[in-house]
Amino acid sequence: MFKKVLPAAILVAVSAAAPVQAQDDSFEFEGAGWGHAVGFSQWGAYGQAQEDPSKPGEDIAAHYYPGSEPASLSDLNLPNDLLSELDKPLWINLGAQITLLEFTAVGGPLELCLFEDGEGPCPKPERPQEGERWEFRRIEQGRCGFFKDGSLQGTEGRCRASISWPEAAGVRLRHGSDRRKICALRSSECEYRHGELKIRDDPVEEGFHVVLAVGLEDYLRGIAEVLPYWEEPGVNEAQAVASRSYAVFKFFQYEVDERPTDPDRDPGIGASRRDSCWCHMYDNTRDQEYVGWWREDGPNHAAWVSGVENTRGRVLTYFGPDWERYTKGGVIQGFYSASTGGVTVSNQYGFFTEWDGRTPRNKAWPYLAPVEDPWAVDPQWGNPHASWTRQITASKIAGLLGWDEVTAVDLETRDVLVAPARVRFTGTDEGEEVTKTASGAWVRYGLGLRSSHILAVDGRSSPAPEEPVAPEEPDEREDDDQDPEQEEPEQEEPEQEEPEDTYDPLPEFEDIEGSGHEQGIRAIYEAGFTQGCSLDRFAYCPDEEVDRVTMAAFLSRALWRGTPPYAAGVPMFEDIPPSHPNADDIYALVEREITLGCGDGARFCPGDSLTRGQMASFLMRAMGLEPLSSFEGRTFEDVSEGHTHRGAIYAIAEEGVTIGCGDGTRFCPEGLLTRGAIATLLARAFIWFGPSPP
């Protein structure tokens, strides 16, 4: 138990984590579609291609982005010419924080390069032959080497290397159950025939990044975002144009520094992007599902490869009002998802949330405005996601809202072109009746639904407003380029039924099994502190580092749930304008002196990584604790008497919030905090009240 008195706000949060629903009723939600429904609709495109086989795929895709027009990249005035001048300009992250990479040559020898190994310039004399299994291992912090049969080949060097195959067909990488995912295809090995592997050290000190440098069209050939048995040219071409547009946008979004046209030079990505992935894109649904050679050589590959070739260099462009703000050289960001409910959703409501009458702060992108999509719900095209139902218990909803109980759920309005469906929740909290209205992303992600297109609750529908009014123009965000991630592609065979538990309101995150923070992650998810990473509700990303703005969001949810309160006179940081998506979270923490800013206090530094020592100070203030000089009569070896966060570290250790790192004799105060670690800390502080679950 805590020895200090908890602030009232924390007591509210704690009671909300365990609602006292007297009778666990449930509510049945009926809806349509699958995914965020922003932009291109895959099942809608499939219906269009079936309805008119002669319709060009780029015209099918353009329907879903109002005001867009197809164009060739060669005709555009792009920010630079790297996509055409370099053979392998795109860097795709295949795995992060890897400590052991297993690889095998395919069809010939591989060439290896290891920097600062004392053996001179690359390539090295070691040449893995076809069928030989080699490894790239992290030996110690910043030092790595190539191994065969357990023995170091050559000498060790920096954790900076490359693997290429100028005389071979390609390379296979092993997935490996004892390490983080190394390829999007969930099998034992993945094969890559195009590009070159780049290995770069991970500053989180837990391993290295594995990245594929590849050409734009070669990258497109390995995308697995439409069903393999869809052989209609129109849908494959439409997906190819949307995927190419997305990739081009992301390339220019992150290629911000000057890069000479030298194939051996690193991309011109910023420092934070190098820290997180050394990439322009990930190989999974955070961006697009990229599986390499399997997509070209796998089942029914010909239709997809033809779709890519038939649209080579073709993208969708937008040159309407403010086009420079919402495009990269005119190229749109081609968001897409599996299916809509008959109408697409704007980026305001597909990716963000309207909550209790407050509209999202993000600005509506002109080419991501809603459009009708009747093909997605037309029964003749066989869309298995044209409709769905889902039972959700009252206690789960109460937990998400932070209430004692939920007594009623009603559909206030159905979707219209300018606004999403709105759901009204009624219940009690601390003996008083309360109501909240939510829509958009909160409804979908918060409740674990297939989409936010809701048609009825408990069989009760609601008419659309007769004269819908567009939401009031919100404040513009400073970082409109910061995008949500792509949706999990629909990949099952038509005769297979999706397992029921896939859409459980509290699903198992696919990437937390075996993590030392698994229990903490589950605890904060059930308490409503998190819904996963990058808007992908099936993943948590436990090994990703936490920056200061992410910390603010987590801590705010733990303390207040919903919208945190703060006074209008709170001093503002130079880098956090009121329009910032986490301004409420940050300034509520400022008002309670939980955060004091960075540097001279004029800024917050939202993108700076967070150390374990810094998090200790945030938690000490949030929990109302006093600094201590030791805990349980002992100290950590690596926390000196003059350490900035010494008092906070021992304060939270005394309460059982931390048990140190390694064997418990150290705290690792300078170590960067991960999403897994912050989950455990929050669970101990606000849910378990100690080092382990009750």
Q: Distance (Å, rounded) from C-alpha 101 to C-alpha 189?
A: 11
39: in domain: no
Encode pLDDT of 301-359 as tens digits. 999 999 999 999 999 999 999 999 899 999 999 999 999 999 999 988 887 667 666 66
C-alpha torsion angle, residues 143, 149, 150, 152 (rounded to 10)? -40
pLDDT over 80 (residue 579): no
240: in domain: no
Angle 540-290-135 (CA atoms, 0-180°, nearest 5)? 80
Task: Give 568: exposed, middle or buried? Use CB within 10 Å, 0-12, 13-18, 19+.
Answer: exposed
pLDDT over 50 (residue 481): no
CB burial of 657-688 (b: ≥16 within 10 Å; e: otherwise) equals: bbebbeeeeebbbebbbbbbbbbbbbbbbbbb
**Residues of the chain above pLDDT 90, percent:** 43
What integer pLDDT is reported at residue 503 of this predicted model?
A: 23
Domain boundary among 189, 214, 239: 214
What integer pLDDT is reported at residue 326 of this predicted model?
A: 92
607: in domain: yes
Average pLDDT over residues 428-438: 91
pLDDT over 50 (residue 489): no
pLDDT over 80 (residue 536): no
Domain boundary among 214, 249, 268: 214
The tokens for 460 are 């009760």
678: in domain: yes
Do the beta carbons of residue 193 and residue 292 sit within 8 Å?
A: yes
Count of CB atoms situated within 10 Å of the CB of 574 = 9
pLDDT over 50 (residue 245): yes
How, if at all, do strands 161-164 and 196-202 pair?
antiparallel
Question: How distant, in Å, are the alpha carbons of 28, 65, 347, 418 from that of 370?
Answer: 26, 8, 9, 7
Per-residue confidence at 11, pLDDT binned at 50, 70, 90?
A: very low
Q: Distance (Å, rounded) from C-alpha 300 to C-alpha 106?
A: 23
594: in domain: yes
| H helix runs in 394-514, sequence order | 394-401, 441, 447
Domain coverage including residue 597: 507-688
What integer pLDDT is reported at residue 183 of this predicted model?
A: 67
Task: Give 99: exposed, middle or buried? Use CB within 10 Å, 0-12, 13-18, 19+.
Answer: middle
What integer pLDDT is reported at residue 187 of this predicted model?
A: 54
Domain boundary among 162, 187, 214: 214
Q: Distance (Å, rounded) from C-alpha 78 to C-alpha 147?
A: 43
More confident of the two residues 509 and 323: 323
Average pLDDT over residues 626-641: 88
How, if at all, do strands 281-282 and 90-98 pair?
parallel
Average pLDDT over residues 447-474: 71
Tokens 């949330």 correspond to 353
Domain count, the chain: 2
What integer pLDDT is reported at residue 530 of this predicted model?
A: 78
Amino acid at 295: R
What integer pLDDT is reported at residue 440 of this predicted model?
A: 81
Number of H helices, E strands in the chain: 20, 23
Encode pLDDT of 376-390 as tens digits. 999 999 999 899 998
The tokens for 430 are 């601390």
pLDDT over 60 (residue 184): no
Q: Distance (Å, rounded) from C-alpha 498 to C-alpha 240?
A: 26
Encode pLDDT of 118-177 as tens digits. 888 888 989 999 999 999 998 887 889 999 999 999 999 999 999 999 999 999 997 644
Average pLDDT over residues 87-116: 91
Q: Distance (Å, rounded) from C-alpha 639 to C-alpha 669?
A: 7
Under 8 Å CB-to-CB from 277, ≥6 apart: which residues?
93, 96, 209, 211
548: in domain: yes
543: in domain: yes
Tokens 């086989």 correspond to 53
Nearest of 380, 375, 425 to residue 405 by alpha carbon:
425
284: in domain: no
Under 8 Å CB-to-CB from 542, ≥6 apart: which residues?
511, 512, 515, 517, 521, 674, 675, 676, 679
